[in-house]
Structure 1
Amino acid sequence: MPKPPRYVSRSDLGWGKSPAAGANPRSGLVIHYDSIDQGLAGKAHSACITYWKATREFHTGPSRGWADIGYSFLCCSHGHVIEGRGLRKVQAAQPGGNSTYYSATLATGPRDEITEAQIDAVRALRQWLMEPDTSIAGTVKGHRDFISTSCPGDKAYALVRNGTFKQPPGSGGGSEDDMVGLRKGDSGERVKYLQVVLADAGFSPGEVDGDYGASTAAAVLAARKSRGSKETSGDKITGWAAAQIMAAHAVKLGG
């Protein structure tokens, strides 16, 4: 099966086959970050490679003693998917899901930018892993869904929760801009994005089916009213409506 665009393999890194134990993860993809800001978005892509090699040295060194780098993949700020343990390997990334989920770190810290290219790399990786040869579920989780941790950071976890990483590659950065212009009667992935954001904000649109019907319109109106809107209809998404929905979502997530 064709690899994601901008794929960097272990052989490209000068690494041999991962010595980690075998597994057949099928449950989905888990997102991670680095607890320290790295500033990689403002550096050349070579800095991402340097970071990845240093991470492997740390993970296999005396303080960890793991068989290999802990993650399956890195999705870097420049849009590359960089192989870690790779396919069909147990990870050391998320206790409780190391043999059932693949892992992808963004190598970002709490204040680092998550770029649109990076978001698209996650989407491309997920799409690739869902193809018949690996057939993972489309689920995307964060490290904190398994244990008490700050990982993958509030920025990345908001993108996990609102469905941004589950959109097809090329769908945009996952923000209010992806909602603006939608109206009752519309259908498709942008509507699904709206519905996921509404549901995560605590305003159920009914089934997340990509159809902007009466239930979605009611959820839109409820979300807007929670932010003080005097509107009487949720039948369309203006820029102001999108901003209010995202504000309601941020409040729900503690943002």
Structure 2
Amino acid sequence: MILRNRSYFGWGATTADPADPTHGLVVHYNGPASNLTGHDTCVSYWKSTRDFHVNTNGWADIGYSFGACRHGEVFEGRGLNHYQAAQGTTAGNADWYSVTLMLGGDEDATGDQIQAVRDLRAYLMDRGVAGTVRGHRDFVSTDCPGDKLYAMVQDGTFSGGSGGEVTAPSGSPLLSRGSTGARVRRLQQALTKAGHSVGPSGADGDFGPATESAVRALQRRFDLTVDGVYGPQSARALRDALAG
């Protein structure tokens, strides 16, 4: 999991009251469509959300414990061991952590965004928090987190793929030399588990020459076009390699 702490956004320590949430994790969304694209738009969204919560709502800090950006990174809000302003009830804010996916309307969560929530759940469970996942509407009358995300809460989507399970990233965009971030890190972890070394740096999130060589080796192994670019065919091959 790539966790961007508060200092990444230029924030100091939160002034929110201390708490000990142990009941689980609550999923939220933005409401209106967010239309985020590049990583910089996710960072801007997170900063503007905090600005609104503090300067318009008058809250002590951004309302959420964490955010899950569309590129698979987890953004720290109030973080660990703090009361929040997200669930709408005293017990909900004191006993549960919150995570908002940076989307709204009819937007779909990306695969990396879903994995970020799974990784966050595992991170919290390692710290004594229950693995239960709920939606905001389980606490108060609200549309949040939207029908699409709430269906994922109910069917256990956010409860899968945690606890160190290695999965192969899928979907667009393609990954190739020069790509960076959470999807590359997951690719490197999956390649390593499948027996293809990504070099001495390991899963560092940087698609360099060693990772390209590992992708080429995978492609040769499954009789694919050997170009070192990780796309849909390579993703299927890597899933087969992991399953075998």
Task: Calculate the TM-score normalised by the size of structure 2.
Answer: 0.65
Partners of 1:116 and 1:36 in 2: CA distance:
20
Kindly state the Cα deviation for residue 95 of structure 1 after the two structures are TM-superposed: 2.0
Aligned amino acid, residue 90 of structure 1: Y
| SS of equivalent to 1:98 | helix
2:203 maps to none
Partner of 2:10: 14
Q: Does 1:106 align with 2:101?
A: yes
Q: Secondary structure at the match of 1:47?
A: helix
Q: Which runs of 4+ in 1 moved over 3 A?
A: 169-173
Taking the aligned partners of 1:148 and 1:30, their CA distance within structure 2 comes to 14
Partner of 1:78: 71
Q: TM-score, normalised by structure 1?
A: 0.62
**Equivalent residue in structure 2 for 1:39, among 23, 31, 35:** 35
Q: Which amino acid aligns with 2:98?
A: S
- Matches of 1:109 and 1:28, distance apart in 2: 23
Offset of residue 7 of structure 1? 1.1
Per-residue deviation at 1:114?
0.5
Letter in 1 for 2:21: P
Q: Percent identity?
A: 51
What secondary structure does 2:98 align onto?
Answer: strand
Distance 2:143 2:20 in 1: 27
Could you list the runs of 5+ residues in structure 2 that have no partner in the other structure? 170-244
Per-residue CA distance 1:7-43 (angstroms, 9 max, x = gap): 1110111111100000000000000001110112xx1
Aligned residue identity for 1:13: F
Aligned to 2:212: none
Contact 1:116 1:172 in 2 (8 A): no
User: Equivalent residues in 2 for 1:107-122 (5 A)?
Assistant: 107-122=102-117
Q: Is the contact between residue 19 and residue 67 of structure 1 (CA under 8 Å) also seen in structure 2?
A: yes
Conserved 8 A contact 1:110-1:155? no
Using the alignment, how far apart are the partners of 2:168 and 2:17 within structure 1?
36
Structure 1: runs of 5 or more not aligned: 174-255
Distance (whole Å) between structure 2 residues aligned to residue 118 and residue 161 of structure 1:
17
2:44 maps to amino acid: T
Aligned to 1:236: none
What letter matches 1:140 in structure 2? V
SS at match of 2:95: coil
Q: What's the secondary structure of 2:67's corresponding residue?
A: strand
Alpha-carbon deviation of 1:171? 5.3
Give the whole-Å Cα distance in 1 for the aligned partners of 2:154 and 2:167: 16
Equivalent residue, structure 1, for 2:189: none
1:88 partnered with 2:81 = yes
Give 1:113 shift.
1.9
Cα distance in structure 2, aligned partners of 1:118 and 1:15: 23
Structure 2 counterpart of 1:152? 145
Name the counterpart of 1:49.
43
Quote the offset at 1:172 in angstroms.
7.7
Distance in structure 1 (CA, Å) of the matches to 2:51 and 2:67: 15
Alignment of 1:232-243 (within 5 A): none
Q: Which amino acid aligns with 1:51?
A: Y
